[in-house]
Amino acid sequence: MGEKMNKILVLYATQSGNAFDAAERIGREAERRGCPYAVLSVDDYDPKSLGSEDIVIFVVSTTGQGDAPDSLKSFWRFLLQSSLRNDWLKGVNYAVFGLGDSGYQKYNFVAKKLDNRLSKLGAKAIIERGLGDDQHPSGYEGALDPWLSALWNVVYELSPSLFPNGLKLDYNDISFIDQPKVEVVYHDVVEESYSTTKTLEMQIEWTRTMSPGKFSAKTKPECFLKMKKNSPLSRPGSGKDVCHLEFEAVSSSIEYEVGDVIEVLPSQDPAAVDAFIKCCELDPEAYITVLPRQKDHYFNGQSRSAYKIPVKLKTFVALAMDVASASPRRYFFEVMSYFASAEHEKERLRDFVSPEGRDDLYQYNQKEGRTVLEVLEDFPSVRMPFEWLVQLVPPLKTRAFSIASSNSAHPNEVHLTVSVVSWMTPYKRKRFGLCSTWLANLDPQHDTLIPAWFRKGLLPPPPPSLPLILIGPGTGCAPFRGFVEERALQGKSGLIAPILFFFGCRNEADDFLYRDFWYSHSQTGGVLSEEKGGGFYVAFSRDQPQKVYVQHKIREQGAKVWSLLAQGASIYVAGSAEKMPADVLQAFEEIISKESGFPREEAGRWLRAFERAGRYHVEAWS
């Protein structure tokens, strides 16, 4: 007989939304079994209360090079306090499910660290941690499905009284679909103040405040930008489409430091928005407010009373719902199955959300990159109420870019290095990234307003006296363009430390980004010049039979690298997260081992200590 417990608490830390979806699924399965539960983002939970919980299920993602999502950082700092005793969490039962990608070196690093720390603080793991893998044929759900099945069995053994409806679930039972979490209120008579044209800033703030999606940026844009220059960096027809974009602030000044990141809210294709509205038989001109259905429920930290300013339905869809670039989640298909009137469509949708159909859904949806609009057009008999669409369509998110300029060198401007994202699906359909395509196609002659937010990146701005070793292949060079601009400016009024910069691309003729800029600063007296103790080294990977990458150029300059490290240099790495950061780290290990005489293992420990001391920084993206 298990002991009696009050509820299950599900805490999630998400970056892209997958951990949120997994946590919500755990909550739904608890609800269908009649089990009391709560689902919270970890940054909405007071960690001091953790010791009084019965069962806590953590769902956490790992980003970049083993980094924790932003929402987890404060909670993690609390857990690391030395004042916490080893028995602080005694009596707390917990489980951890991680979401990661085994293609990265630090696969599910955050979940593993959290599991170890909870155990050290006296909590009891009731099941071995689950590790979701984006590389699995079914994505993270390939591990989540069997892990959840085992979890519920364990929790039931611990406390059968939590499950008045038992363990078995019937996904075809329509009674499982409860009311949506949001309520859409239509305003028949629009007051004069509502019918006037609102500024874009207010529209963005209101729509994003009303959206149930959690946003990484604040709802209100920090500023608006206008494009002043759009020039290609790669050779047309080379297979790479990279451009240099320059923006100026409109109506307000901007401040940022080198190494900072800008988040941009892209515009959706108006034709796609119109097609979605028509497909769902909605009135684009209707004025709406979106409210949390529960009075004690909060969206984006706002209470229900905050949602009183109506916006046009079409505006809400365009600014808050990603209808034409994001793929819907599994639960979207489950809810669709209840609203499909054609029996063959209902049957296919139910197959998709069954355990047996999981792989088929992954191939149809995520692997093929189906959009919400495409899915709804594939199942024309589905008529989902707008409330469900508001809740389940992925929110339109900002996209982050490393800033490629120095604010000191270009006051009130921000420069970006943008690679237009495109890929071929398994069914040979070419897809394009929403934001990169939109930005690259903007015309500086048109006054398009671009909503933007600024935030700190993972590359802290270095003081002028700090020697630097920079590694930035491809668009990874973007932040270092700002570093070099700033140091060149600092050199006009004082002493500056040298910079070694390693750049890499495929071909000298095709994608040597900012060639003239780097060469101008590597000539006599420049901040990258050998005369000043620095250097600029390029790896053209495909200009010779043998592939040459940045790590090869780093090894070639091993003595110079070691000399600069001995002078107190910091290392900065930016670019593709796939293999490059691990290959670069290995190159530094070899250099340190060779130049110092340390064994490789000792060199590795030296580098890890270097990282902990804040002298090895990596900003990588997939």
Predicted local confidence at residue 304, as pLDDT: 52
Name which residue leads in pLDDT, 6 or 568: 568
Q: Are 139 and 369 in contact (CB under 8 A)?
A: no
Q: Does residue 605 sit in helix, strand or coil?
A: helix
234 labeled part of a ligand binding site? no
Please, which residues have CB within 8 angstroms of residue 445's CB and are 6 or more apart in sequence?
Answer: none
Predicted local confidence at residue 426, as pLDDT: 87
Average pLDDT, the chain: 90
Residue 298 pLDDT > 50: no
15 labeled part of a ligand binding site? yes
Question: Domain boundaries in the chain?
Answer: 8-169, 468-621
563 labeled part of a ligand binding site? no
Predicted local confidence at residue 307, as pLDDT: 54
Closest by CA position to 23, among listed 73, 95, 75, 76: 95
pLDDT in tens, 254-276: 999 999 999 999 999 999 999 99
Residue 300 pLDDT > 60: no
- How large is the average pLDDT for residues 510-534? 95
Predicted local confidence at residue 169, as pLDDT: 67
Closest by CA position to 476, among listed 511, 424, 519, 509: 511
Distance CA 233, CA 244 (A): 6
Looking at the structure, give the CATH architecture of the domain made up of residues 8-169: 3-Layer(aba) Sandwich (3.40)
Where does the pLDDT of residue 5 fall: very low under 50, low under 70, confident under 90, or very high at 90 and above?
A: low
427 labeled part of a ligand binding site? no
Predicted local confidence at residue 356, as pLDDT: 87
Across-strand partners of 82? Answer: none
**DSSP string over 111-176:** HHHHHHHHHHTT-EESSPPEEEETTSTTTTHHHHHHHHHHHHHHHHHH-GGG-TT-S---TT-GGG
Closest by CA position to 416, among listed 240, 201, 253, 264: 264
Closest by CA position to 138, among listed 379, 354, 346: 354
Please, which residues have CB within 8 angstroms of residue 193's CB and are 6 or more apart in sequence?
Answer: none
25 labeled part of a ligand binding site? no
**Inter-CA distances, 94 with 8, 27, 48, 110, 121, Å:** 10, 15, 16, 16, 12
209 labeled part of a ligand binding site? no
**Inter-CA distances, 442 with 244, 422, 433, 435, Å:** 12, 17, 14, 11
327 labeled part of a ligand binding site? no
CB-count exposure of residue 612 (10 Å: 0-12, 13-18, 19+):
exposed
Residue 1 pLDDT > 70: no
425 labeled part of a ligand binding site? no
Percent of the chain as helix, strand, coil, to the nearest 5: 40, 20, 40
Backbone angles phi, psi at 243, to 5 degrees: -135, 155
Residue 191 pLDDT > 90: no
Q: Are 324 and 373 in contact (CB under 8 A)?
A: yes
503 labeled part of a ligand binding site? no
Distance CA 368, CA 217 (A): 28
435 labeled part of a ligand binding site? yes
Residue 195 pLDDT > 50: no
**Inter-CA distances, 612 with 101, 404, 570, 616, Å:** 23, 26, 12, 8
548 labeled part of a ligand binding site? yes
Q: Is 365 left (phi over 0), alpha (psi -120 to 50) or beta?
A: alpha
Fold of 468-621: Rossmann fold (3.40.50)
Residue 296 pLDDT > 80: no
23 labeled part of a ligand binding site? no
Do 8-169 and 468-621 show the same overall fold?
Answer: yes
∠ CA 591-592-598, nearest 5°, is: 125
228 labeled part of a ligand binding site? no
Distance CA 75, CA 77 (A): 6
Burial 507-534 (b: 16+ CB within 10 A, else e): beebbbbbeeebeebbeeebbbbeebbb
pLDDT in tens, 323-382: 999 999 888 999 999 999 999 999 999 999 888 898 899 899 988 999 999 999 999 999
Closest by CA position to 435, among listed 421, 446, 423: 421
- Written in H, E and C, the secondary structure of 284-299 is CCCEEEEEECCCCCCE
555 labeled part of a ligand binding site? no
